[in-house]
Each structure stands twice: as structure tokens, then as C-alpha cells.
Structure 1
């Protein structure tokens, strides 16, 4: 889209002004490629604990993908006065209800982006990691009319916790609920009666912070809302990673779930600048040879699907320190991204 390439690690975001309300006291940042015209898509991106908007953009590569394919980005950002570890407060009742707190602030930011940049109201999407993934669940539930689709990475089902102690059980997979109750939580969260957003769910099989059963709960929640059966229409393996798919009545994918083999807690990436490659590896941003950024953009319908890669390349990345197959309970390196997140969550009182 004509913007001069930025150096590695550069903050490419600018502040969004014009908010009419901000009850959650969040910072608003954005990225709009040069020359972007009216009617472009908008992606709302929610960072994880210990991150900020700029670091998440650098790691995930969303702004560079926006340059290539022409869409705007909104980055709500947490402040330390709200949460000392920069986690979105997905477990606080006052921040997870329609018209209140952080959820209302994010909705107000979307309205400001619509006014300032004339984005397409029918092509607004939301995605996030960890606490940001949990807040993406909140936004899809409380403002479903605003989103065509969403993607939740290492997140939790909406309504999983309404306090710190419940958050322990939620992340540890101990807050089990039936499909009917999970679906009812979304239906009670807003007056919306459908159609409902499509949902993409991403989870590491070796995640010990937000355990894999949380992905199952998210899927169960949204299949119930969509009126789809628990059993997927098809199960496949994509470059070594299981993918389950539920089709909607029109034949398009309504819900998909990726379980990333051997991955701990973080965003799955395939760093680089080639087709199907995005981002830079770092804390919370894991090089597994498989780009969630590119595949989520394709699921949203705002970028082409990544080209198929040879298994040899994925194997080479694994030997170089990228994807390392492991069991669901495999320990993470003491100084790796998992340890960074564990330390932050313990400091925030969200992990024992």
C-alpha cells in the first residue's frame, strides 16, 4: 500500500483519537496503511499479558500483512493502573458486560475507527492471545452484531470466570460446563438474535497456562450458539497440526479449531516475509513453522490462504528450535516464553 518499510522492532502504530467514551480506561492505538480507501476491513487485535500493542504487532506481523492486503488495524492497549501485568481484565464482571468497562471501551474504539476511516461495518473482526483471547471471547459475546468473525488464541470461553479464584479453575480446565449453559451465556450477553460471528480457535497441545480443554469449551460454546452438532463435519491434518471444521448451513466454515502440536502458551508463527510467513519470534510469540496470523486473515476472508509448505521445511524449523513435538504436559524451558508468562500470571495472582 505504499508505506516505507519499517526497521525490525519499530513501533508502527499511532494513537487513535476521537473516543466518545472510555469507561475501561484503555489506550487506543491503530495502524492504517497509506492510501487505504473507504470500505476496507478492520481487525481488532488484543495483546496478551506483559505485552503492549506495539510488541504484539511486531511479533505477530499484522501490520505488515495489512500493508500487503489492504485493511485497517485497531489495537486496544491495557494500562498498568488497570492491571499491573497488562492483562485485559477478562475475569472482572465490570469489564466483561455489554456497555461496561473494557468491553465498552473497545466498542467505542471500533466506532471511532468507523468514523475516522470509513471501514466496512460488515467486515470487522477481532482476535487476541491469552488474556487478549479471553477478551476476544468477551467482545464476540457482548457485541456479536459488530463482528463478522473472530479468532481466539489460547483463550477461554465467555463467562468462564467472574473473579480471580474462578480464573484459576478456568485456565486449569476445571470450570466444566454443559453446552447448553455455555451457549446460554452468549445469548444472555446481548439482545442480538443472530446471525452469529464465525469463530476460529487456536490452542497449543502443550500449553500448561491455559490448558487445551479450554479450546474444547470455546468450540462447544459456539457450536451450540450456531446450532451445530458437537461432532465436526471433518477433521484433517494441516502441516502436522490437527484441524477440526464445522460448516454452516451455507457451506462456509462457521467454526474451526487448530491444535498446534507440541506448542506451549503463545501465538503460533512462521516468521519471515514470504508468502504465508509473518512476524518475529520472541516472548509469547512462538516459531512453530505455522503462521496463525496468515491463516486467521484467510479465515476472515481478507487475505489469500497460505501456500502449502513441504514437511521438510517444517521439520527443519523444529530441529532449529521451532516446533518441538511434546505431550500436553511437557515442561517449558525455564527461560522461555512459557516461563515469562507463568511468572507474570503468578505475580497477578492468576496462577499458583
Structure 2
């Protein structure tokens, strides 16, 4: 029986195919290992004691994962409910990253409140940004509805007080926080925007880039407030707003901070007082302006000297975090706690 011979070309093809197969399998194992490490890191709780509880909410914008932080050693009285702080991360961050950077869990453990960290899906935005600017397409409002579904789910499943919910965000998270507060007035008792774009300044990706650079955000007359913020929010009982922004921010222009405060003050009928400067130790100084109506502060503008596009007073060695700034976590909780004590804003 004769033996079939193979040509040099066939042998070369077989060798190359074998080498390609081995390289593909090796690459596949490496990618799988990287995915496993990334997944393990995401599931790992941020530093500190307490419970890190995972969940998922489904709404008009699709499904979104979230984590809820519950302080350790809680001993609740029968029927007792705790305040809820909702934290919306910035672009390129996860909920865990945001928790580690802001150290809000440490404040929550001391002050006894729950913290909710929703997380953007990379299929919805490749950079992990909340789609706050997609107003024309309806994507922004759908995403806001999904975030509200996550909040409602947590209130249903855990001892969170529906009447004491505050909302805070960084960058894209700050802009989404403002959108949610204007679309769902009455659901939040306090809102904090850290380094975000002014409400109503963008309705598409193209206009968002301009707004981030400081365009499209001049203080608006009363006739334009309703159009910018939405009819549901204008001149209604909007939650009091805290605006935090660094004057050295090269990503989102600090003009947005002034415009955010001006638009919110116009919508709530508040007037600005005299600015004052505060500095705690060697941290960056702050220029603070309160906007009041009667004896109630409805907007506080905090302009932080020397702060870039980063969480003020955040954990060291974390992206988008500046340890030299005043502690934004403490400032936001103190602002929210005052609103919880004050009750509803009268229109």
C-alpha cells in the first residue's frame, strides 16, 4: 500500500495552523484570566466594614447593576428606616471605584445611613458615562427612569426611608443627578452636583461637548428656565442643591457651577448672598455663596481653589480624586442632613 505524500506547502500550512491554534488557546486563557480578575475585583467590597449588597434593577433604559452599602452593627428599632444617599459615579468609574474614592461609606457608618451605588453598563456607554445629554433621543430620560427603579427597589427591599433620599454625583453622574431631580421633583430632599454640567445646557453628544467647555451655559432669564429644566421642575418644589466645582477643572468648565446655581436659584426663587471664603487646615480654600428664599438656603455654590476634575478630599492614589481638597463626602452629608431636618420646600 503506497503512502500518500504531502507537499511542502501543505506541511507549512499545517504547522502554521497548529501554531495559530496554540496561540489562540493561550490568548483565550489569558483573556479569561483577566476577565476573572476584573470580576473578582468588582465583587470585592470597597475598603471598610459593612455590607456590600449587589442587585439589579430593570427599567425603561434597560437593566443596571447596583450595590447597596449597609453600615455594620445596625440595631434598628421596630419600623425604623434610614436615610438613603444615592451616588452616581463619573465616566471611567464603577460603583466600587466611586465608593473607594469618595469614602462615603465611612461617613455612612458614622452617621447611620444607607448608600446606593448604581453602575452604568458599558453596552449603554462604552466609557461608562451616564447618558445625561441624550435628551433628544429620549435615552437620558429612559436611563433616569431605570435609576429611579433601582431606588424604588432598594426602598422596597431594605429599611430605606422614602422621605429622606439624597442624590449626589461626579461629572457625568452630577449631570444625571440634576436631570433626575428635575424630572422627578419631590422624590429627593437634597441634590449635590460635583463637577457637572449645568442643567439644560445640552441635549445631544455634540452640545454636551460644548457645554463641558463652558459654552451654552449663561445664566438664564426666568422665561428660559422652564424650557431648560423641563416643565415638571420649573418653579416647583425642587430639592435644595449643593454645587461643588474646582476652579482648575480642565475637563468640565467651572462656568457650569455658576450657571447651575443660577438656574436652580431662578427656578426656586432664591437670591444670592455675599460670598465667603473658608479653609480647613491646609486643604484647598472654598468660596461659598448661599442662595436663599426667606430663611431657607435652597442653593449653595462651593467653588474650590486649585481643584481639578476630581472628587474633593477623595482617597489618595485613586483616579479622579484629590486628597488635598475639602472633604466633599462630609460636605454633602451635612447639606443633606440639614434638608432632612428642615422638611419639604414650599413652592
Q: TM-score range by the shorter chain?
A: 0.7 to 0.9
Q: Which of 238, 252, 265 matches 2:278?
A: 238
Q: 1:172 to 1:40 in 2, by over 3 A?
A: same
Matches within 5 A, 1:281-296: 281-296=317-332
Shift of 1:12: 6.1
Aligned to 1:121: 162
Q: 1:60 to 1:181 in 2, by over 3 A?
A: farther
Please provide the CA RMSD for this pair.
2.5
1:30 paired with 2:68, answer yes
Q: Which whole-Å CA distance do the structure 1 matches of 2:269 and 2:62 have between them?
A: 33
Q: What residue ranges of structure 1 are gaps of 5+ in the alignment?
A: 1-5, 272-278, 304-352
Q: Which has the higher strand share?
A: 2
TM-score, length of structure 1 as denominator length: 0.75
Q: Which whole-Å CA distance do the structure 2 matches of 1:51 and 1:154 have between them?
A: 15
Matches within 5 A, 1:297-312: 297-301=333-337
Aligned to 1:157: 198
Q: Which whole-Å CA distance do the structure 2 matches of 1:43 and 1:237 have between them?
A: 27
Q: Which of 197, 209, 217 matches 2:251?
A: 209
Q: Which whole-Å CA distance do the structure 2 matches of 1:89 and 1:7 have between them?
A: 25
Shift of 1:64: 1.5
Q: Which whole-Å CA distance do the structure 2 matches of 1:68 and 1:9 have between them?
A: 12
Q: Which whole-Å CA distance do the structure 2 matches of 1:209 and 1:299 have between them?
A: 26
Q: Which whole-Å CA distance do the structure 1 matches of 2:49 and 2:113 have between them?
A: 20
Moved more, 294-303 or 75-84: 294-303
Q: Which whole-Å CA distance do the structure 1 matches of 2:187 and 2:112 have between them?
A: 20
Contact 2:46 2:96 in 1 (8 A): no
Q: Which whole-Å CA distance do the structure 1 matches of 2:209 and 2:325 have between them?
A: 31
Q: Which of 212, 233, 238 matches 1:196?
A: 238
Size of the aligned set, in residue pairs, is: 284
Larger radius of gyration: 2
Q: Which whole-Å CA distance do the structure 2 matches of 1:117 and 1:7 have between them?
A: 20
Matches within 5 A, 1:91-240: 91-93=133-135, 94-97=138-141, 101-177=142-218, 178-180=220-222, 183-185=225-227, 188-190=230-232, 194-229=236-271, 232-239=272-279, 240=285
Aligned to 1:274: none
Q: 1:24 to 1:214 in 2, by over 3 A?
A: farther
TM-score, length of structure 2 as denominator length: 0.76
Aligned to 1:14: 53
